[in-house]
A = this chain, B = another copy of it.
Amino acid sequence: MRTEIITLDGHIIDSLTLSKVLDILVSTGVDYEIRRFEIGKTHDETSHAEILVRAPDEESLQRALHEVQQHGAVISQENAKLQPAPQDGVFPDGFYSTTNLETFVRIEDTWILVERIEMDCGIRVSRTDTGWRAECVPLHRARKGDLFVVGTAGVRVTPAPRREAESVFHFMGSEVSIEKPKARIVQAVARAIRDTKASGRKVLFVGGPAIVHTGAAPYLERIIRAGWIDVLFAGNALATHDIEYALYGTSLGVALDTGIAETHGHEHHLRAINTIRALGGIRQAMEKGVLKGGIMHACVVANVHVVLAGSIRDDGPLPDVITDVMQAQDAMREAIQGVGLALMVATTLHSIATGNLLPASVTTFCVDADADTVIKLTDRGSHQAFGIVTDCAFFLKELAEQLCGKE
């Protein structure tokens, strides 16, 4: 029989924290006894609980402790255990696997914030001139000998805040459904974007080619030119069809002004790619006067930090596309520093990829015509994402009006 004392502090009743922790203990097969419990008598007072945990063996104990940690339980005042990576690109056995929640590790009796927190990584600890430093590191960037946290001791996680019951976000987040008041939701997104910018944090836009196919590119272009977007993640397809539209007025060969599929038009995207490749890239095509408008043009003008990540579907691709997916991921990791809000529109691949990299503290909206994309995103751990099941063309039109005024 192995035991441990865990403590919980704060609004642990109405945040469901206490309930969840007890629930986890029971479901992982460990026994508990509440040693001390001081309940906040009113809405404003916090509560305090001390719980003795009794597990049949060390493995069960560790499993339970790791899980309750994610809900803010503080386990002990032990220091984190560290072990070196055995080779490049490999973590030591028993490595602590991160979530996307704010995390601290205890090194030499001090709690240190883990930088660049991101799910499914390890925590690398290093001594610097100014003291210890902890950072989140993906597998492929581990170097032989780097020290990584192993086990659960000495790790503290700040649980995700509850969504306020009164807020529109609570409502939006509660269930993924098409049957929601749409104009209110777009207003809420616009307000969140304004708040993010006002607080000095960056806004990230992640988009798929359906934005162009559905005729929504001019709305996104308007939002970008007005300076609302700081970072844009997309693939070769969005950029290509955007440029196809700028050069030929079509997307996938469909004339967006008339809705008519042009004979021959299916080739336009390939000719657009060839043109940009011949010129050396998007910026060069602008400088030569060939590319005169569109989303990518607006990004260059508005100085948006763009990362175009390649995929195996790509034709071409454009010279601006990063074809190595790990390099693309790393470029995305750099670009999200300082981001406070992510707006993902009409792309499953890029939404999930970005969701993997974002801390849970980033306000995240995922807009898709298909509820499945949103379900997949949250299934994969981006629990903070608010799903908005709607048509991306109308969503962006409405958002552009909210942010930039009616035209």
Contacts and interface: CB of A to CB of B under 8 A. Distances in A.
B31 A43 contact: yes
Nearest to A35: B41
A213 B181 contact: yes
B184 A257 contact: yes
22 contacts: A13-B19, A14-B22, A18-B19, A32-B43, A33-B42, A66-B264, A67-B264, A86-B278, A140-B316, A172-B259, A178-B391, A181-B214, A181-B256, A184-B256, A184-B258, A252-B379, A310-B324, A313-B353, A314-B325, A349-B349, A371-B375, A397-B398
A172 B261 CA distance: 10
A369 B40 CA distance: 46
Interface in A259-303: 259-261, 263-264, 266-267, 269-271, 273-274, 277-278
Interface size class, chain A: 35 or more
Nearest to A27: B165
Main secondary structure of the interface of A (DSSP, over half): mixed
A235 to B, nearest CB: 8
A221 interface: no
Interface of A: 13-16, 18-19, 22-28, 31-34, 37, 39-43, 63-64, 66-67, 86-87, 89-91, 95, 97, 120, 138-140, 165-168, 170-172, 174-185, 188, 210, 213-216, 251-252, 254, 256-261, 263-264, 266-267, 269-271, 273-274, 277-278, 309-317, 323-326, 328-329, 332, 348-350, 352-353, 356, 369-372, 375-376, 378-381, 389-391, 393-395, 397-398, 406
